[in-house]
């Protein structure tokens, strides 16, 4: 398959979700900005916070917090899984087991989807509450080919935002991207406009993708290094649990430009806690 054909396939998958996804992008077509925020004290999540507990600065300008939700908005979990040649056999079985563990941890109102990638990006299962269909697609995956992580990530972001829920991308790759057609900087710019939060898992002993680290940093997630695919089940469940303990904070930007990069600083008033959130968002249509 040619690189042009692979790109066309990835873009066709993304295009199916893009019209709906655009409705939730940061300040591009809507006024409200949504930020997923993890508040921790000594490594433990801090619960029970309200809107007036948060302080938000947008490009240094204090903002009024409109709403804080916790464990109320359904999750859209997109598994973005590397099934290239190097993840064949037992490693693939361990990856599939980790994916199934995440699906088991979802609630009846949550949705899931599966995007797999080698040198081909495939939407194994569309975003749905039908978790049995996602499990079936996960079980049917087999290892082959090379790696197109960047193309797969773009597809997964669009799939995740094709619904009003909170989009969580859980991405695994055991190496660097070798086959993507899309430019990393263009996909990272898309992530800056997106509500999706991306977490990653990569094999510690292998050369890992700087793209994955940049993606998770820009969206407020984390890239975890694991010793082997045997550790993926525990890591995936840790990601899901952490995401469930995040607050969804929203505000309507006031006193700032409608275009360009907006740096966000989220704080909790009168508390010495650790706050993790995306560093900012990209607004405007350019």
94-99 CB contacts, 8 Å cutoff, 24+ apart: 94/228, 94/229, 94/230, 94/232, 94/233, 95/172, 95/229, 95/232, 96/138, 96/139, 96/141, 97/232, 97/233, 98/172, 98/229, 98/232, 98/233, 98/235, 98/236, 99/138, 99/236
Residue 7: what pLDDT? 44
Residue 17: what pLDDT? 40
Whether residue 16 is found in the same domain as residue 37: no
Whether residue 89 is found in the same domain as residue 127: yes
Q: Count structural domains, the chain.
A: 2
Whether residue 62 is found in the same domain as residue 152: no
Whether residue 7 is found in the same domain as residue 56: no
Whether residue 196 is found in the same domain as residue 63: no
Whether residue 181 is found in the same domain as residue 165: yes
CATH number for the domain spanning 159: value is: 3.40.50.410
Q: Which domain holds residue 253?
A: 31-71+247-283
Whether residue 86 is found in the same domain as residue 222: yes
Whether residue 175 is found in the same domain as residue 235: yes
Whether residue 213 is found in the same domain as residue 86: yes
Residue 24 clears pLDDT 50, i.e. is over it: no
Question: Which tens digit of pLDDT belongs to each residue from 225-273?
Answer: 999 999 999 999 999 999 999 999 999 999 999 899 999 999 999 999 9
Whether residue 158 is found in the same domain as residue 172: yes
Whether residue 226 is found in the same domain as residue 129: yes
Report pTM: 0.88
């Amino acid at each position: 398959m040619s690189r042009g054909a692979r790109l066309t396939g990835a873009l066709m998958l993304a295009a199916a979700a893009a019209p709906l996804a655009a409705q939730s992008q940061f300040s591009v077509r809507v006024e409200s900005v949504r930020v997923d925020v993890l508040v921790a004290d000594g490594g433990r999540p801090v619960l029970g916070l309200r809107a007036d507990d948060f302080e938000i600065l947008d490009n240094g300008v204090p903002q009024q917090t409109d709403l804080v939700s916790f464990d109320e908005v359904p999750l859209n979990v997109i598994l973005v899984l590397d099934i290239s040649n190097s993840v064949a056999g037992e490693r693939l079985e361990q990856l599939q087991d980790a994916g199934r563990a995440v699906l088991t941890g979802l609630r009846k109102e949550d949705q899931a989807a599966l995007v797999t990638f080698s040198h081909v990006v495939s939407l194994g299962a569309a975003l749905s509450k039908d978790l049995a269909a996602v499990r079936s697609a996960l079980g049917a995956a087999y290892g082959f080919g090379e790696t197109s992580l960047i193309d797969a990530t773009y597809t997964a972001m669009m799939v995740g935002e094709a619904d009003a829920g909170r989009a969580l991308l859980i991405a695994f790759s055991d190496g660097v991207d070798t086959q993507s057609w899309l430019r990393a900087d263009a996909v990272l710019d898309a992530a800056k406009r997106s509500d999706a939060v991306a977490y990653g898992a990569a094999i510690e002993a292998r050369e890992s993708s700087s793209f994955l680290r940049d993606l998770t940093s820009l969206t407020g997630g984390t890239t975890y290094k694991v010793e082997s695919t045997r550790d993926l089940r525990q890591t995936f469940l840790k990601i899901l649990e952490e995401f469930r303990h995040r607050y969804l904070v929203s505000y309507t930007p006031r006193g700032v430009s409608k275009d360009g990069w907006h740096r966000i600083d989220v704080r909790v008033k009168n508390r010495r806690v650790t706050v993790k959130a995306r560093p900012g968002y990209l607004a405007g249509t350019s």
